[in-house]
Amino acid sequence: METTATIRGEIARYLQNHRMTINRFARISGINSGTLSNILNGNRPMSMHQLDRITEGMGLEEGHFYELYITESIFHTTPDWRRLRPFLVRCAELDKLDCLHKAARMTMENINYASMLFDLAEDLFNEEKYNAAALLYECVAECEKLQYSERLALCQYRLFLIRLGENQEENLQAAVYFEPYIDRLDEMYQLDAYVKLINLNISLQRWDKIETLAKRMGHQAKIHYQQNRDRFKECEYPRKPLIFYILYSYLMQADIYQERGDYDNAFYYVSLYEKPDWVINPSNEESLIMDQFNEWAEANRYMYGLMSGQPDVLYHYVDYVESRKDEIFLALCNIMITANRHHLDVDPILERFKEYLHYRSQQNQLGKVNDQLTVHRYTRFLAELGIYYLNAKQYDRGLSYILDSLKYSIRTKSDNGMLRCMGIFEQFRQYSSKETQKLYNEYIRDVQKLSVYAWSPQV
């Protein structure tokens, strides 16, 4: 029997050191003694199941021999998908991502493996094993990078979704990299991809990009609604009925005009999603969507009126959202922006909704609100609270909120947020306590670390 640095050699050495017969080890590992003998003599390849049983029988950590298995069963042989797939699955289960990546890359010279790697990546993605799935999507994308394929586009879409997180710099890179692939996606995925890109760009405040994406999404959704609406009814994608994407396009365009201070056009787009009478015989889900957009329309009419300089609308807005708990946080964000812009006293409102001043995930009738969007809004909300109290000469309270906003800006690597908070703090530094200045200096060191990292030469 071999005693070299192979799996068979390691097993043989174990048996020798423990003075153990094949029959005894067969009983311990649960593998037939004849099968075990053939494996040790090199007459039979080892399956993943057998490798795991042997590893357990030797009292070793799961996956102990995976590096050797790659060399013996994948690198020095023609990869056999019947052996390779279980190996990749086990690597994903044990989070041995280096082994998974190494084994997957060994198949890349044979493009026939791309479809099988992709199917496995989809399985892992659906099981929420995102890091493992990403490695396989990257391999498939590299294999097909010169092909104008839907599979390549779907790989890039999945990678975009996996890469989204709190880091705004990385989110921006992910968005910029994925966007050219969106038109290559199968049309069933495109509308959801547009929503994901739009929501991310809202958190990045890229309003021109949002406008472009919203118009393209609305155009495609209208075509599908007019020509293919029945085809999509039984499909898993898009996630929502087609009317959602049309109405969401109008909602985004209204918000864009509001951001530009063009309230006439903002109100026009509100009218488009407020009562879509072109929807005939709506299903229960479509009715729910229409009700939600109708609620948003009424809330936004109050909000746009408030922002355009109609302070008498404020308490109508507050009374409207009070019974709609899902809308309170967003309303508070808008109220604080308006209060600072038009010098309004909103102390009673803040007291009335004090339980909503803390960070929490947001929901509406249609599901969970995008995390990046919620964090962005909360970071801005903290800054607006800080400005409000500083203007009221409540300096300790105001600077505390500014530092909270700075902390979230650092956490998400939001350059705009960091610069804004630092500018405000420096403006009111003379009113800060020594403790507050000490905390601010700690945050500044964190900002400097981010800057040093960003400017480090890449080798």
pLDDT tens, position by position, 96-139: 999 999 999 988 877 788 999 999 999 999 999 999 999 999 99
Q: How far is CA 457 from the centre of its chain?
A: 28
What is the predicted pLDDT for the residue at 365? Answer: 83
Residues 29, 57: contact at Cβ < 8 Å?
yes
Mean pLDDT for the stretch of residues 342-346? 94
Q: How far is CA 76 from the centre of its chain?
A: 38
Please check whether the two domains, 1-61 and 65-185, share a CATH topology: no
DSSP class per residue in 212-223:
HHHHHHHHHHHH
Environment class of residue 452 by beta-carbon count within 10 Å: exposed (0-12), middle (13-18) or buried (19+)?
exposed
What is the predicted pLDDT for the residue at 453? Answer: 45
Mean per-residue pLDDT of the chain: 91
Percent of the chain with pLDDT over 90: 79
What is the predicted pLDDT for the residue at 250? Answer: 98
Mean pLDDT for the stretch of residues 389-396? 97
What is the predicted pLDDT for the residue at 451? Answer: 65
pLDDT at 454 exceeding the cut of 50: no
* CA gap 346, 316 in Å, rounded: 13
pLDDT at 57 exceeding the cut of 50: yes
Number of Cβ atoms within 10 Å of the Cβ of 191? 26
Mean pLDDT for the stretch of residues 5-10? 89
pLDDT at 45 exceeding the cut of 70: yes
Mean pLDDT for the stretch of residues 143-157? 88
List the beta strands (DSSP E) in 32-143: none
Q: Domain segments of the chain: what residues?
A: 1-61, 65-185, 196-308, 336-452
**Tokens 């399985």 sit on residue:** 123
List the beta strands (DSSP E) in 269-400: 363-364, 367-368
pLDDT at 456 exceeding the cut of 60: no
Work out whether strand 367-368 and strand 363-364 pair parallel, antiparallel, or are unpaired: antiparallel
What is the predicted pLDDT for the residue at 77? Answer: 66
pLDDT at 51 exceeding the cut of 90: yes
DSSP 42: T
Residue 438 is encoded by which pair of tokens? 């000490």
What is the predicted pLDDT for the residue at 110? Answer: 77
Least reliable range by pLDDT among 9-13, 158-162, 233-237, 307-311: 233-237
* CA gap 385, 397 in Å, rounded: 9
What is the predicted pLDDT for the residue at 231? Answer: 75
pLDDT band for position 398 (cuts 50, 70, 90): very high
What is the predicted pLDDT for the residue at 148? Answer: 74
Residue 75 is encoded by which pair of tokens? 């690198």
1-61: CATH superfamily: lambda repressor-like DNA-binding domains (1.10.260.40)
* CA gap 110, 133 in Å, rounded: 19
What is the predicted pLDDT for the residue at 404? Answer: 98
Residues 406, 417: contact at Cβ < 8 Å?
yes
What is the predicted pLDDT for the residue at 225? Answer: 92
* CA gap 54, 61 in Å, rounded: 11
Least reliable range by pLDDT among 70-79, 337-346, 447-456: 447-456
**Tokens 């649960």 sit on residue:** 30
Q: First vs last Cα of the chain: how many Å apart?
A: 47
Please write the tens of the pLDDT for every residue from 224-268: 998 877 777 767 778 899 999 999 999 999 999 999 999 999 999
* H/E segment holding residue 363: strand 363-364
Percent of the chain with pLDDT over 70: 96
What is the predicted pLDDT for the residue at 195? Answer: 96
* CA gap 239, 248 in Å, rounded: 14
CA distances from 149 to 5, 61, 117, 178 (A): 43, 41, 15, 14
What is the predicted pLDDT for the residue at 405? Answer: 98
What is the predicted pLDDT for the residue at 174? Answer: 95
Please write the tens of the pLDDT for every residue from 81-95: 888 899 999 999 999
What is the predicted pLDDT for the residue at 79? Answer: 65
Architecture of the domain delimited by 65-185? Alpha Horseshoe (1.25)
What is the predicted pLDDT for the residue at 106? Answer: 87
Mean pLDDT for the stretch of residues 162-172? 93
SS3 state at 114: helix
